[in-house]
Amino acid sequence: MSKADAPLKAVLQSAVCPDEVQKQRFLAFLEKKYHTKVELIWEKVETGDNGFCLRVGAEVYDWSVKGRFEQFREELQKLSETSAPVIPLLKNTINAWMPESLSRELGEVISVGDGIAMVKGLEKATYGEILVFPGGVKGMVQELGPDGLGCILFGEDDEVYEGARVLRTGRTAGIPVGEGFLGRVVDALGSPIDGMGEIVADGYRPVESPAPGIIDRSPVNRPMETGLLTIDSMFPIGRGQRELIIGDRQTGKTAIALDTIVNQKGKGVICIYVAIGQKNSSVAQIADSLQKRGCMEYSIIVSASASDAVPLQYIAPYAGCSLGEYFMEKGRDVLIVYDDLSKHAIAYRALSLLLERSPGREAFPGDVFYLHSRLLERAARLSEAKGGGSMTALPIVETQAGDVSAYIPTNIISITDGQIFLESDLFFSGQRPAVNVGLSVSRVGGSAQTKAMKKASGSIRLDLAQYREMEIFNQFSSDLDEMTKNQIAYGQGLMRLLRQPQYHPMRQFQQVLTLLVALDKCYMKIPVDQVQEMNQRVLRHLEEQLPEICQRIQEEGEFTPQDREELLREARQFIAGTGGV
């Protein structure tokens, strides 16, 4: 008999041998299912009940008490992932549920180590599907090879061993979502790690989902104010934009992201901070800082720390993005920070090398660009038909010695809508935030600014560029004419005004008034070290004397030429009255 004509072997495991009638029923069921001749082999197994277990290759029909209970447990699991009221559904499920002859595909672990399990036998498993290992450890299929599957494990692999059975779930990786996550710190799988008890979820979302299509998007034209004068005036960020924060370590990248979160207080924006590969102490410090300033009530922290398994670090930003999409699709505005994608890429490289994928440039796999593009493209401002919500992404990338031409930085620069480049020399000279005005850019530009900010910011970038040229020239000459000295003094005053302490965001009207007065060169005669103090005094004076104009700028984002003249006249008189000091 040829191999093709050999009957399919099926193994029936039960405590009692089936009689001839029962055997014929089994054979009829199997031949109808698999459309081929079947040879039925009986094995005696003490199941402790009258049930049986039927194995056909990698598929198992478990009709024991344990198997039927597992079916019911899966029905409850599916039920828990819906957003419908649970109690009525639970009653209906219990009353209506009947066990079915469902096959379960089983695999076997070939090898395990470093958070990776190689599995054979699951021929129908799909990429991204969740598998269940011994001890309840879950993993996700990451590699579909001719000899088996490569699976990343979301837990300790102590209980996973060679030869262990692996079960398919038929579901992709997901995370619970809901309003209950606000104010909480969770891990990459949505489990709370802040010691504040369980979180009641409103639903369940896959961690990987397609980005909104072109028709489903609206133009990015509403500002996402950071409260930082440097950024809001020159590199405005819009709701739905992806703006990269890039720079060497310890240059204030995270500080900019946290200031932006603090500035959303009272503006109805949901903030999600994703910490990838950071120390637990650093994440705890960030949570404490946000809590003290009353920002945790609208914030969520998703943490996959350096001590967590590499697969959790890989999946964390996608999990955070799914949380954000839940709120975005409800018509709300979301700000999400990925801190940082350099560590995310390194985690993915480690997984890929362990899965024996071919290494490319800097040992990264060939699909490392797609790793981040499919994440960042999910940030968008939705059309009114889709609810009008938005998700703004602030990915953070760390450079080495200011090299923005490295592999991962260039990839992410090409995906995002602009970058804020932080420079070490500026940081150590006391210019904080240390934004390099020449290398930073926002490709959305003035579309994401209010009319008031657009008018007030005027020529600030050009003035700062001229100052940088004069400063370089000043290094080679001590004999300068009066005009050059004035230009340098003006530029130094502007740079000093752009200095801003952390956790002290400026309101829109304060930024507008600062720019109007500074660009009118009202601070030209004031010593550089006194410019910031004078500006604070001027802002307080204008808010007291002209409250209507200040309120109009803050609420409507607009001012008239008459408002401008009145503000500048009042500012000049105040500065002159103080003796310019």
**Catalytic residue list:** 443
Phi, psi of 468 (to 5 degrees): -60, -40
Strand pairing class (103-113; 59-62): antiparallel
Nearest to 400 by CA among 342, 337, 339: 342
144 sits in which H/E element: strand 138-145
Three-state DSSP class for residue 94? helix
Nearest to 362 by CA among 414, 407, 314: 407
Structure tokens belonging to residue 329:
């699709």
Q: Is 161 left (phi over 0), alpha (psi -120 to 50) or beta?
A: beta
Amino acid at 83: S
Q: Are 60 and 121 in contact (CB under 8 A)?
A: no
Nearest to 209 by CA among 337, 338, 125, 319: 319
User: Other C-beta atoms within 10 Å of 581: how many?
Assistant: 10
Taking the C-alpha atoms of residue 43 and residue 18, their distance in angstroms, rounded to an integer, is 10
Three-state DSSP class for residue 103? strand
Structure tokens belonging to residue 526:
């004031």
Q: Which residues contact 5 (CB under 8 A, 6 or more apart)?
A: none
Place of tokens 């992709």: 172
Q: Which residues contact 457 (CB under 8 A, 6 or more apart)?
A: 233, 234, 449, 515
Nearest to 36 by CA among 45, 44, 27: 27
Annotate 455-514 with DSSP letters as a single string: HHHTTHHHHHHHHHHHHHHHTT-S---HHHHHHHHHHHHHHHHT---TT-PPPHHHHHHH
Reported in sequence order, the residue ranges of 146-253 that DSSP labels E, i.e. its strands, are 148-153, 165-172, 174-177, 185-186, 203-206, 244-247
Tell me whether the omega of the peptide bond preceding residue 333 falls within 30 degrees of 0, making it cis. Answer: no
Taking the C-alpha atoms of residue 557 and residue 549, their distance in angstroms, rounded to an integer, is 10
Phi, psi of 195 (to 5 degrees): 70, 20
Nearest to 553 by CA among 506, 520, 519, 521: 506
